[in-house]
């Protein structure tokens, strides 16, 4: 029976890089995302290496998530690794300046979407048992506050605590849970956050060396393929050229 990985948000960034990394190791892929044309491109690119099943999906729609999981072809049903990558950041301004709809979108995607997919796949992961893994893509924003993080950081704090709580509930099943928390990383994620502002994107990464999606994919693959008796609870990853800021002070 081949190993099967289920990846949400596979159309760009970390998710796409994870698909490529797991395919290189011979894993069968279930790839989901909201952009069907990009999923088709990935299937064409990777389908010659490994079996690939693609499905357009909005993780916020619990009925659609359930239907997808229940309708998986037989050769893809034994999911061994779930990578909860789908997520986004919006409204990088101060809390008092942003649109409430952006807050709702982040909560619905980063929290509700993650919960929907995890709940639907728990039976398969538990049936796989020892060595099965849930890898949740969190963020350093879930641990370290900064201006403009407001609801985004709060959703990633949920990811961290949900991962810890799952570990408690899954004790005895063999299923591992890891919160992978990247710092400054260069991907389309930032373009989405800035409303596709290329100038803002370029300014963020200018004259430094951020993480790349392939860096994160390598770490996700590592934690998901360790010997079955090892669980990395949380893996926080920053580029060497990023560190924590000092306290903010309001002055006259």
Question: Among all residues, which ones are annotated catalytic?
Answer: 152
CB 32 within 8 A of CB 76: no
Strands 4-7 and 79-84: parallel
Q: What is the rounded distance in angstroms from the CA atom of residue 23 to the CA atom of residue 175?
A: 22
223-to-2, 118, 127 alpha-carbon distances in Å: 19, 18, 20
- Which is nearest to 51 in space by CA: 76, 82, 79, 21? 76
- In the chain, DSSP assigns E strands to 4-7, 28-33, 52-56, 79-84, 133-137, 176-182, 234-237
CB 163 within 8 A of CB 179: yes
Q: What is the rounded distance in angstroms from the CA atom of residue 98 to the CA atom of residue 111?
A: 19
Q: What is the rounded distance in angstroms from the CA atom of residue 142 to the CA atom of residue 177?
A: 17
Contacts of 27 (CB under 8 A, 6+ apart): 2, 3, 4, 5, 50, 81
Length of the chain: 252
- Which is nearest to 113 in space by CA: 149, 84, 133? 84
Strands 79-84 and 176-182: unpaired
């Amino acid at each position: 029976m081949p190993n099967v990985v289920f990846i949400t948000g596979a159309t760009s960034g970390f998710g796409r890089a994870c698909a490529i990394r797991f395919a290189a190791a011979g894993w069968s892929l279930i790839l989901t995302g909201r952009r069907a044309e990009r999923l088709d491109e990935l299937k064409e690119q990777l389908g010659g290496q490994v079996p690939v099943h693609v499905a357009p999906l909005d993780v916020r729609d619990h009925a659609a998530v359930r239907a997808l999981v229940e309708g998986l072809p037989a050769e893809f049903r034994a999911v061994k690794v779930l990578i909860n990558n789908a997520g986004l950041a919006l409204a990088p301004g101060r809390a008092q300046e942003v649109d409430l709809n952006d807050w709702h979108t982040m909560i619905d995607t980063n929290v509700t979407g993650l919960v929907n997919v995890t709940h639907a796949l728990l039976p398969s992961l538990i049936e796989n048992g020892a060595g099965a893994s849930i890898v949740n893509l969190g963020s350093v924003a879930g641990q370290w506050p900064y201006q403009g993080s407001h609801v985004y950081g709060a959703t990633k704090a949920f990811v961290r605590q949900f991962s810890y709580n799952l570990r408690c509930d899954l004790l005895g099943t063999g299923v591992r849970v890891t919160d992978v928390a990247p710092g400054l990383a260069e991907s389309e994620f930032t373009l989405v956050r800035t409303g596709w502002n290329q100038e803002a994107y370029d300014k963020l990464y200018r004259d430094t060396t951020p993480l790349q999606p392939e860096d994160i994919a390598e770490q996700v693959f590592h934690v998901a393929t360790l010997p079955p008796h090892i669980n990395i609870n949380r893996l926080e990853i920053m580029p060497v050229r990023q560190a924590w800021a000092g306290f903010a002070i309001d002055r006259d």
